[in-house]
Amino acid sequence: MKNPSPGVYTVDEPSASRGLGPLIPWCQSTNERRFFLTEIKAKPLAVRHTCAYIVRKPDQGHLYRGHRSMHRFANPARFLRLSAVLLPWCAGATVILTILGLWLSLFGSPPDYQQGETVRIMYIHVPAAWMSLFVYTNMAIAAACGLVWKHPLADLFAKAAAPIGAGFTFVCLVTGSLWGAPMWGTWWVWDARLTSVLILFFLYLGYMALVNAFDDPQRGMKAGNVLLLVGIVNVPIIKFSVDWWNTLHQPASVVRMGGPSIDPTMLTPLLVMAGAFTAYFLSVVLLRVRTEIAQRKIQTLRLSVAGDGAVTDGMQG
Amino acid sequence: MNEFLHMGGYAAYVWPAYGIATLVLLGLLVATWKGLRNAEATLKALESARPARRRTRNAGRKAADQNAGTPVEASEG
């Protein structure tokens, strides 16, 4: 048995259990591989799910630390089944709620007595703003799960959700500007609400850049997760900025103490559009997580093919 | 209808808001869909290439072993 260098190794369980390939770098025969895998499987689930495991090799007595990635492929399998069930419902809800929401916000609601027809921008602007916070909060929760429990799907979720959150934040900023121009007489002011949302947008972009900046995706994910957790401080700042500081932006009128202060004819389209955006987010994030899982598998396969090449050379040389 | 499109004089603000939201959300959906199709196609290609490679490798090794005059090791496979 070749003496492996200590480090982090990835084990592709589905392939390994089919008896394919020396995916475990130091196991050069099926028997060794089988022994290795039974040893891992004998460990309590809790230990397995903590990601790092210790392997004692039978004849050498050395301890090797490996990166447990069985649940990386076991869980995604469950996720793929679940997403196949959920996706049609989410997509259907997106279509129905979008049609209903657009009809309500463009035809089914009255113009505002002060703001006239520009109030219709609200039905895009406010749900987009809610989504920008909702998506970020979800990503931060996922980041915590990814860091604490090393749950690989949590990492993938955060990575998959980031562009959608950035998109919603962008829509929120642009529609806010288009609403501010006629109503406030300015496209932009550097006040607390607007600035903190702009920072949220940069947090999304920064996370996306950071995650892709490392050769090793694991390290990128870890750095990105830390950024997400640090950035969560911005979420309450955005929410309460209209109360804490003097600002041009109007205070909350839906999510506030004492219930919504907005007429039901305007609240209904607002909530329907928020539902449509949420359903859209769920549909697209399911598709994106699926893409991320496929890309992880591609990476594992490419690595193992490269590994095969090395072994073949070693045998012949 | 014209009055509706006119939006009480605010057409230049209301319609771009809806337009940009549609553009961003649809663009993201299309990009996601294309990315998924791409990744799944690559994965399929890689997975179908794998068993073929493996057979070639084992055959090559057996031939090499026989050439060297050593018995084929039983532990593999």
- A52-56 vs A63-67, strand pairing mode: antiparallel
Q: What is the pLDDT of residue B9?
A: 82
Interface test with B, best of A121, A164, A173 (most B CBs within 10 A): A121
Q: What is the pLDDT of residue B50?
A: 66
Q: What is the pLDDT of residue A42?
A: 57
Q: What is the pLDDT of residue A35?
A: 63
- Say if the Cβ atoms of A118 and B13 lie within 8 Å: yes
The DSSP secondary-structure symbol of B69 reads: T
Model confidence over A91-117: pLDDT tens digits? 999 999 999 999 999 988 888 888 888
Residues of A in contact with B32 (CB under 8 A): 284, 287-288, 291
Interface test with A, best of B18, B30, B47 (most A CBs within 10 A): B18
Interface test with B, best of A95, A288, A299 (most B CBs within 10 A): A288
Q: What is the pLDDT of residue B34?
A: 97
Q: Which of B20, B39, B54 sits opposite A174 (nearest CB)?
A: B20
- Say if the Cβ atoms of A298 and B9 lie within 8 Å: no
Q: Which range (A5-9, A251-255, B67-71) has the least confidence?
A: A5-9
Q: What is the pLDDT of residue B74?
A: 42
pLDDT: is A101 or B77 the higher one? A101
Q: What is the pLDDT of residue B70?
A: 42
- Say if the Cβ atoms of B39 and A167 lie within 8 Å: no
Q: Where are the domains of chain A?
A: 1-68, 74-299
Q: What is the pLDDT of residue A139?
A: 97
Model confidence over A80-91: pLDDT tens digits? 888 999 999 999
Rounded mean pLDDT of A200-225? Answer: 92
Rounded mean pLDDT of A125-131? Answer: 95
Kindly tell me if the per-residue pLDDT of A57 is higher than 60: no
Q: What is the pLDDT of residue A308?
A: 57
Distance from CA of A64 to the nearest CA of B (A): 23
- Nearest chain A residue to B73, by CA: A29
Tell me how far apart the alpha carbons of residues A240 and A188 are, in angstroms, rounded to a whole number: 19
- Nearest chain A residue to B48, by CA: A301
Q: What is the pLDDT of residue A60?
A: 41
Residues of A in contact with B64 (CB under 8 A): 315-316
Average per-residue pLDDT for chain A: 78
Q: What is the pLDDT of residue A242?
A: 83
Q: Tell me which fold the domain A74-299 belongs to.
A: Four Helix Bundle (Hemerythrin (Met), subunit A) (1.20.120)
Element (H, E) at B25: helix B11-68
Q: Which residues of B touch A (CB under 8 A)?
A: 4, 7-10, 13-14, 16-18, 20-21, 24-25, 28-29, 32-33, 35-36, 39-40, 42-43, 46-47, 50-51, 53-54, 57, 60-61, 64, 73, 75-77
Tell me how far apart the alpha carbons of residues B43 and A221 are, in angstroms, rounded to a whole number: 22
Q: What is the pLDDT of residue B32?
A: 96
Model confidence over B36-56: pLDDT tens digits? 999 999 988 888 876 654 444
Q: What is the pLDDT of residue B33?
A: 96
Q: What is the pLDDT of residue A299?
A: 81
- List, in sequence order, every residue forming a beta bridge with A7; answer none if it has no partner: none
- Nearest chain B residue to A176, by CA: B17
Q: 3-state secondary structure string, chain A?
A: CCCCCCCCCCCCHHHHHCCCCCCCCCCCCHHHHHHHHHHHHCCCHHHHCCCEEEEECCCCCCEEEEECCHHHHHHHHHHHHHHHHHHHHHHHHHHHHHHHHHHHHHCCCCCECCCEHHHHHHHHHHHHHHHHHHHHHHHHHHHHHHHHHCCHHHHHHHHHHHHHHHHHHHHHHHHHHHHHHHHHCCCCCCCHHHHHHHHHHHHHHHHHHHHCCCCCHHHHHHHHHHHHHHHCCHHHHHHHHHHHCCCCCCCCCCCCCCCCCCCHHHHHHHHHHHHHHHHHHHHHHHHHHHHHHHHHHHHHHHHHHHHHHHHHHHHHC
Kindly tell me if the per-residue pLDDT of A236 is higher than 50: yes
Model confidence over A258-303: pLDDT tens digits? 777 788 888 899 999 999 999 999 999 999 999 998 988 888 777 7
Q: What is the pLDDT of residue B17?
A: 93
Rounded mean pLDDT of A244-271? Answer: 80
Model confidence over A7-49: pLDDT tens digits? 334 444 444 444 433 345 455 556 666 665 665 555 554 444 4
Residues of A in contact with B50 (CB under 8 A): 20-21, 301, 305
Q: What is the pLDDT of residue A53?
A: 38
Q: What is the pLDDT of residue A277?
A: 97
Tell me how far apart the alpha carbons of residues A263 and A268 are, in angstroms, rounded to a whole number: 9
- Nearest chain B residue to A277, by CA: B25
- Say if the Cβ atoms of A167 and B77 lie within 8 Å: no
